[in-house]
Structure 1
Amino acid sequence: MPDVGNTRARYRRILRFAARYMVQTWWYELVLPRFGLATFVARGRAARLTRIAQRFHVLAVDLGGLMIKVGQYMSSRLDVLPPEITRELAGLQDEVPPVPFDAIRRLAEAELGVPLERSYAEFDPTPLAAASLGQAHRARLAAVDAGDMGYDEAVVKVQRPGIEVIVDVDLAALRRVAGWLSRVRFVASRVDLPSLVEEFAATSLQEIDYLQEAQYAERFAANFADDPRVAAPEVVWERTTRRVLTLADVTAIKINDRAGLVAAGIDPKAVAAQFAAVMFDQLFRDGYFHADPHPGNIFVTPVSPASSASTQGATDAAAPAWQLTFIDFGMMGEVPDSLRRGLQQLLLAIAARDGKRMVQAIQGVGFLLPTAETAELERAMTALFARFGGMGFYELQQVDERELRRFAIEFGDVVRSLPFQLPENFLLVIRSMSLTSGLCSSLDPEFNLWDAVEPYAAKLLRDEGGGIVRAAGREALSVAGTAWRLPGRLDALADRIEAGRLVANSPRIEQRMARLERAAQRIVSAVLFVGLFVGGILLRVDEPVWGVALMAASAVPLLHAVFAGVFGRRGAG
């Protein structure tokens, strides 16, 4: 059990790390470019990101707990995060230090109520895997349990001693960091971070209840009982408690082991496509999905053709010579029917590359408030699909960086102007799809998400009874209706332009805009003063000359922030 002093030190260490790199990121990415130093910032960005990732890697391995979860999530975001970060954090999937076996033995025997030698015929003291919240050991079931289950090879998952206290401390630190970020206007206007942390807290507390995980595993297995593509381990209930979980041993080729897959005659590209389809089924068909599909939780299991055919059941497609075997069901998510229908419409809009329909689906899901003005977002979405629609991750890497940056700035301005919000319980959906996208990209650098979305969207249309032909008919009617109304709408638009009704008029708008502009300038100056002064203090340790120079330069925006309002009022008078 961690002592109070250690937990307090852990809490302070997490906060210090977050504060330091939040300030550093703000300084380099927001303040310095305002002084024309964007080239300087860009030149050192790769080395800076690598240093941050290296220091977080050390922090996560040293602290364990939920910090490992954060690092695992970031290491899987190959499609979004720069390689400097994902490459450095990739080792966190397998680098969690194990708990000494004596501590594991004491906890397991206390939970099971009998010595390990009576619970299992054999129990390997060397851990098979060490995770952030528990670790797994291979074992052989006792004769009586093996007779009941029909097999004797098992994996026993044992919770880390004292993990409840560590989770509480980490959550307290995350709540504090979320409170800091929620005071940043841009962050607060986009997402309710405290609510997301509470959702993450609820999920983390569920994850350390192994009885609940066992129930989740059985429910997941039942959903794919007739699907030859997917397998899950059977629960040995006689040797399962809240902190000890015994499962059938299903270990095989880890899904991100490309060399192992190729050696077994399995195409990694086929695995990526199948994995994406299975995750889509969980999210859009079942509404019950694995929310932690990182590489350590998924195996590719070769199966014999006869076994595959016998389990094909009602599935129409020919079964592959391998299965995706999921483990670790501590983090599962549910999608309510209303949200699932909204997500299906969003998927159909993406497959059709229809910007207007996608905006409508976003509103239906609850990402946008009903009162939001969406004309600019529709235009931006249409431009997005026109230029980048159908491109995979690999193809996007070949696009000129300046073009991507220009589009990102324009699109970001539109998004920032809208009242976006995350629907309740949506954090796990984002996590699951993010990990899926990153893992598929690691299996197949040329993986194109569109190739997975489009056939799945067509399947959704067929399943809903509409059929692609009927959908195309509805689309044709919609286009015809728009064309029929177009001349009248153009006439109305011309009338409005001639009448000058497209211009917003206000008798005091110029005065108000002038006051707002002066106030904005003073605010910017105040922000620059704080940034220069704090940045000078931070840089003074490693780069004294730069640090002193920036602290001296901070006097200029300070004077402007203090006196500009006085001189502005006198000039106005």
Structure 2
Amino acid sequence: MVEPHTCRPSTRCCARRMARPARQRGKPMSRGERLRRALTELGPIFVKAGQVLSTRRDLVPADIADELSLLQDQVASFPGSEARAIVEQELKLPIGRLYAQFGETPLASASIAQVHAATLHDGREVVVKVLRPGIDAQIARDVKLLRSLGELAQRWHPNADKIRPLDVVAEVEKMLENELDLQREGASASLLKRNFASGVDLYVPAVHWELTSARVLTLERVHGISSDDIAAIDAAGLDRKALAAKGVRVFYEQVFRDNFFHADAHPGNIWVDPTRRDEPRFIALDFGIMGSLPEADQYWLAQNFIALFERDYARIAKLHVDAGWMPADVRLDELEAAVRTVCEPYFTRPLSQISLAELVVKLFQTARRFQLTLQPQLILLQKTLLNIEGVGRMLDPEIDIWAVAHPVLKRILRERYSPLHTLRDVRKQLPEWFHLAPRLPALVHDALQRVARGEQRLLADADAMSHQSRLVHRLLRMIAGCMLGATLLLCAVLLWALAPQHGPWLSLGLGIGGLIAFGFGWSRSR
């Protein structure tokens, strides 16, 4: 089931409603509603800014964040004939050669692009996403204005250090830069589809690359129910409790298994497949905003979640410092006490009533007193966590987020940081190590000679240089041991396969020798 989005009313009509006194409309508007309406009137770029600001619940008051989360960037559509012309210009063929049928009436219209239904010559249904004409120049003009407003706010707003308006503007610019490249969006959809190739939990429409460019994206057309349409989901006979739990699992798998997550997961972009009664699943749409984390942040964040699930407040405090998110001179006992003060009141409630997203937001607010430094990727993740938990609780108000998330995260970490996974990583890096190994002694010798001639200032003291030298020798011993071990293992396999007349004992002996050599080389690197 595909439902066209409702286009935004004309600016003039909206302006008349805004100008009408609040008392004539029944009740005064809240400050959040006034801000939301003002951003809507200013146009799409400011709507995007409000959407980003709504994710900063650690900085923005809750009532304003709630209102800003209602912002939609739906605008009046542009003519279908223009969309047709853009498609023909981008794909270098007449529309009739590209599609058997192209609907000029858009299915949906937003600030950056609009979507049209089409049919391929083999009968398959697709949707064609087309960037608005002149959108690049409009966005550049609006971003320049938005940056000027951000600079004014940075200088004059009394809470500028908390709101950080220039950071918000930078986040909007980055978001829009990604959304203006539809080929990038197609690549994101393709990767997400590969990560969930089975299609059991999450289905991602296929990209038709031969009909895709930077300004045109052609995707398989899918039919589903918006995840907030509870009546339609019930009418389809789907198990909402199973769906809610699956949504939480899919989120943690995206973030911690694949390190690539859908960062705009509101109900309009997350549908439910009405045809899968026995095994309900979600359908993902709109891949313009995707997120990933640096590997280090991913590890520290996962460990923080585990410690939070297990109420290990001392470990949470230590992890924040070890990750570099807080200064090293922070008193761990005070940070631990602050974390405990936030968390303990939550744990007096039934687990099904604890909002993990709300708790994370309050932890961020508390941590800011200890000079917490957050990366934009973590803010994007916070927004996604809020969206996913909201979808989960709409589907199943009694869902125990903790009971679902904890075992999933532990399983992912167990697999990701297992000895087998570590050996695979080592195997990937071996060619680079082998390439560098012969050059290391010469590089060290050359560097020492330059220092001795005064051509390069020695930045480290004698103890540090000695430590670096020991590290180099350990690396060389490890590489030598690993190479010897790998050679012996290869000889054992070849002997077993090509010369069975010598019996198994010689091959077995070589294999054991190879394992011992490999283990010796690895142990000498420790």
The interval holding the TM-score normalised by the smaller chain is 0.5 to 0.7
Q: Tell me what 1:162 maps to.
A: 134
What pairs up with 1:243-258 in 2 under 5 angstroms?
243-258=215-230
Contact persistence 2:339–2:366 (CA under 8 A): no
Deviates more, 1:103-112 or 1:79-88: 79-88
Letter of the 1:131 counterpart: A
Letter of the 1:283 counterpart: V
Which residue of 335, 342, 360 maps to 1:377? 335
What pairs up with 1:345-360 in 2 under 5 angstroms?
345-360=303-318
Letter of the 2:391 counterpart: L
Confirm or deny that 1:202 pairs with 2:154. no
Residues 326 and 414 from structure 1, CA distance in 2 versus in 1: closer, same or farther, beyond 3 angstroms?
closer
TM-aligned CA deviation for residue 412 of structure 1: 9.4
Residues 49 and 201 from structure 1, CA distance in 2 versus in 1: closer, same or farther, beyond 3 angstroms?
same
Confirm or deny that 1:139 pairs with 2:91. no
Give, in whole Å, the separation in 1 of the partners of 2:367 and 2:314: 15
* Larger RCO (CA under 8 A, 6+ residues apart): 1
TM-aligned CA deviation for residue 264 of structure 1: 0.8
| CA deviation profile, 1:76-112 (whole Å, cap 9, x unmatched) | 999997578747864737x433223233233223222
Deviates more, 1:153-162 or 1:66-75: 66-75
Contact persistence 1:301–1:323 (CA under 8 A): yes
Give, in whole Å, the separation in 2 of the partners of 1:302 and 1:77: 34
Q: Tell me what 2:239 maps to.
A: 267
Contact persistence 1:190–1:420 (CA under 8 A): no
What pairs up with 1:174-573 in 2 under 5 angstroms?
174-183=146-155, 193-195=165-167, 197-304=169-276, 321-389=279-347, 391=349, 395=353, 415-423=367-375, 425-460=377-412, 462-463=414-415
Q: TM-score, normalised by structure 2?
A: 0.65
Give, in whole Å, the separation in 2 of the partners of 1:417 and 1:96: 41
Q: Tell me what 1:100 maps to.
A: 79
Give the SS at the match of 1:175: helix
Give, in whole Å, the separation in 1 of the partners of 2:216 and 2:401: 38
Contact persistence 2:50–2:71 (CA under 8 A): no
Give the SS at the match of 1:139: strand
Q: Tell me what 1:67 maps to.
A: 46
TM-aligned CA deviation for residue 376 of structure 1: 2.2
Residues 424 and 56 from structure 1, CA distance in 2 versus in 1: closer, same or farther, beyond 3 angstroms?
closer
Contact persistence 2:52–2:172 (CA under 8 A): no
Q: Tell me what 1:546 maps to.
A: none
Letter of the 1:381 counterpart: V
| CA deviation profile, 1:406-429 (whole Å, cap 9, x unmatched) | xx8xx8996453211113643432
Give the SS at the match of 1:295: coil
Letter of the 1:300 counterpart: V
TM-aligned CA deviation for residue 135 of structure 1: 1.0
Residues 206 and 91 from structure 1, CA distance in 2 versus in 1: closer, same or farther, beyond 3 angstroms?
closer
Give the SS at the match of 1:302: coil
Give, in whole Å, the separation in 1 of the partners of 2:326 and 2:28: 35
TM-aligned CA deviation for residue 273 of structure 1: 2.2
Give the SS at the match of 2:76: coil
Give, in whole Å, the separation in 2 of the partners of 1:302 and 1:163: 36
Deviates more, 1:418-427 or 1:83-92: 83-92
Deviates more, 1:384-393 or 1:233-242: 384-393
Contact persistence 1:76–1:86 (CA under 8 A): no
Give, in whole Å, the separation in 2 of the partners of 1:118 and 1:227: 31
TM-aligned CA deviation for residue 159 of structure 1: 0.8
Unpaired runs of 5+ residues, structure 2, are 1-10, 12-17, 19-26, 420-526
Letter of the 1:139 counterpart: A
Letter of the 1:96 counterpart: V
Contact persistence 2:352–2:401 (CA under 8 A): no
Give, in whole Å, the separation in 2 of the partners of 1:174 and 1:64: 11
Identical residues among aligned pairs (%):
32
Give, in whole Å, the separation in 2 of the partners of 1:110 and 1:331: 26
Give, in whole Å, the separation in 1 of the partners of 2:229 and 2:265: 15
Give, in whole Å, the separation in 2 of the partners of 1:335 and 1:220: 15
Q: TM-score, normalised by structure 1?
A: 0.60
